[in-house]
Structure 1
């Protein structure tokens, strides 16, 4: 007999600031938090380091290369129909121009001032912004 075991999922994101201090955000297609704005990132693969996931997913979604720095936030998202842990990294350096590479994952992207963020935002991104504001 095969047992269907529910397990938490892990997502890793990258908080990228441009030279003007604006944050790069993407609008998500899929749940959890579909149609919410958040930092680029995605699902952690088996055997992958979390920071590598944030770098890989950002490149896959937007075609830019990032080097992650410190952890900004670890966010628990627990609901009756999902359980995610989101790890958001500050980006130490990046290069390239954002272009949607995965239309099945993101609707749009944009640069936003920390005092003029779009709504609604993902829980992990809200916590990451709070950490950026304290820095």
Structure 2
């Protein structure tokens, strides 16, 4: 990649009050949140809703911007990349995950319990944000 890529992701609360975290094939074994690249002409909120449908089969509601992060050549990512990460907090009415090929494992957890997982740096920051603002 020769320029930064804009990506969206969300920490999502289900009807049980627990939050979804996932381990994917792309973060060298670290846990994170579902998300992905924003397509040209696609608003951020539409992108995060699309990515959740594609990766875990969930429909998001009440998606709200949380924070902006930058991942520059992170050794946690499986290849060299420069990302602008647009993070959301959201909710879903269903906790039935239908994973795509990128999702290795997932868990619905309390926010404090999420911090005991081997989270990637950017997800850890998002969970800490949620603890303060959710």
TM over 0.5: yes
- State the structure with bigger RCO (CA 8 A, min sep 6), 1 or 2: 2
Moved over 4 A (4+): none
* Cα distance in 1 between the residues matched to 2:121 and 2:6: 14
Query: How many residues of Structure 1 are paired with residues of Structure 2 in the alignment?
Result: 127
**CA displacement at 1:98 relative to structure 2:** 3.0
Cα distance in 2 between the residues matched to 1:54 and 1:68: 12
Task: Say which SS state the counterpart of residue 13 (structure 2) adopts.
Answer: coil
Give TM-score scaled by structure 1 length. Answer: 0.82
Structure 1: give runs of 5+ residues left out of the alignment.
Answer: none
Report if the CA contact (8 A) 2:8-2:44 is conserved.
yes
RMSD: 1.9
Deviation digits for residues 76-102 of structure 1, max 9, x if unmatched? 1112732111111111x4233332331
Q: Is the 8 A contact 1:58 1:65 kept in 2?
A: yes
Q: TM-score, normalised by structure 2?
A: 0.83
User: Could you report, residue by residue, the CA deviation over 1:14-63 in whole angstroms, capped at 9, with x for unpaired residues?
Assistant: 21113443210110102xx2321111111111111111111100011111
Structure 2, unpaired ranges of 5+: 75-79
